[in-house]
């Protein structure tokens, strides 16, 4: 982690940038690499296992993830990621989101996905993700399309979460 990486404020629901489709990155520059480092530092600080650029107010197709265990870091930085294959088998995993604090829900997704992306040097890469990483990469790519994990759950559960968010937003507005 470069010493120059800085923490960025994390955007929370209901900020409209979280619902926007992010733009592809046309050229990977030092600025892109700096953003990847800043997002990585912000993700670890939160702490979280994934972060997408719209969550730090930047509407570009960039994500970072680390689904490794504490002492076994597995940092992955992706630019313009695309899911190119999904398994027929699905799994149910509990998800949360740094932009929807304190709320979790079980989300059903394909158990395995193949993802193609550019690394921080602009080289095309692909990975096959399983288990937690599969859920994580699908969750983060969703962010680039303005989709949140609450869009994948029942209306009843979603309305419950939305009511709690509205209540918290009202209370913090009153405090300010
Ligand atoms: Ni999220």
75 CA → ligand 1 middle, Å:
17
pLDDT of residue 76: 98
- For residue 28, report the phi and psi dihedrals to the nearest 5 degrees: -90, 115
Mean residue pLDDT across the chain: 95
Where do the domains of the chain lie?
A: 16-175
HEC profile for 101-168? EEEEEEEEEECEEEEEEECCCCCEEEEEEEHHHHHHHHHHHHHHCCCCHHHHCCHHHHHHHHHHHHHH
148 CA → ligand 1 middle, Å:
7
- Does domain 16-175 correspond to CATH entry 2.60.40.10? no
The pair of three-digit structure tokens given for residue 144, joined into one six-digit string: 């680039």
Length of the chain: 176
Mind listing the pLDDT tens digit for each residue in 69-124?
877 889 999 999 999 999 999 999 999 999 999 999 999 999 999 999 999 999 99
18 CA → ligand 1 middle, Å:
9
The answer to whether residue 15 scores a pLDDT higher than 80 is yes
Can you give the pTM of this predicted structure? 0.94
The answer to whether residue 1 scores a pLDDT higher than 70 is no
The question of whether 112 is a catalytic residue gets the answer: no
Dist CA 108 CA 92 (whole Å): 4
pLDDT of residue 176: 61
């Amino acid at each position: 982690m470069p010493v120059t990486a800085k923490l960025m404020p994390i955007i929370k629901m209901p900020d409209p940038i979280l619902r926007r489709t992010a733009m592809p990155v046309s050229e990977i520059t030092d600025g892109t690499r700096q953003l990847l480092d800043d997002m990585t530092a912000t993700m670890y600080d939160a702490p979280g296992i994934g972060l997408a650029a719209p969550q730090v107010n930047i509407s570009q197709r960039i994500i970072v993830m680390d689904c490794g265990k504490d002492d076994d870091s597995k940092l992955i930085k992706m630019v313009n990621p695309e899911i190119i294959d999904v398994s027929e088998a699905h799994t149910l995993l509990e998800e949360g989101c740094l932009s929807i604090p304190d709320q979790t829900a079980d989300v059903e997704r394909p158990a395995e996905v193949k993802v193609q992306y550019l690394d921080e040097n602009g080289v095309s890469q692909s990975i096959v993700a399983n288990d937690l990483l599969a859920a994580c990469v699908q969750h983060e790519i969703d962010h680039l399309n303005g989709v949140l994990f609450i869009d994948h759950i029942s209306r009843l559960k979603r309305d419950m979460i939305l009511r709690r968010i509205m209540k918290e937003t009202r209370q913090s507005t009153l405090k300010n």
